[in-house]
Amino acid sequence: MAVARVVSFEGVPEGRIQEMKSRIESEDPPEGLNPAEMLLLHDEGGGRSLAIVLFDNEEDYRRGDEVLSAMPAGDVPGQRTGVDKYDVAIHRKR
């Protein structure tokens, strides 16, 4: 079963998401991070973001959680306000 790591952020400065997008698209993911998918939601007016990283299984989630939790503050969009783990009950794409 797929597993999701859902992280909320506040205090996301204007332009920060564009910087991250450019870096993520041009660089390889950090060693040990093997996400199946990643989704980053952003409320620019409210300065909030929600990162949803999907992993294929528990082992990938565990390794990914370790890597992501160890990231320096400068590598995240803003101030981390919550980290939660969810089982992916339904995942549908068109």
Mean pLDDT, each 10-residue run in order, the chain (94 residues): 95 87 86 88 93 95 93 81 96 88
For 65, the domain range is 3-87
Q: What is the pTM of this model?
A: 0.88
| Residue 9 lies inside a defined structural domain of this protein | yes
| Residue 56 lies inside a defined structural domain of this protein | yes
| Residue 94 lies inside a defined structural domain of this protein | no
CATH of the domain at 56: 3.30.70
| Residue 22 lies inside a defined structural domain of this protein | yes
Q: Can you tell me the distance from the alpha carbon of 52 to that of 68, in angstroms, rounded to the nearest whole number? A: 12
Total domain count, the chain: 1
8 A C-beta contact, residue 9 and residue 79:
yes
What integer pLDDT is reported at residue 55 of this predicted model? 96
| Residue 29 lies inside a defined structural domain of this protein | yes
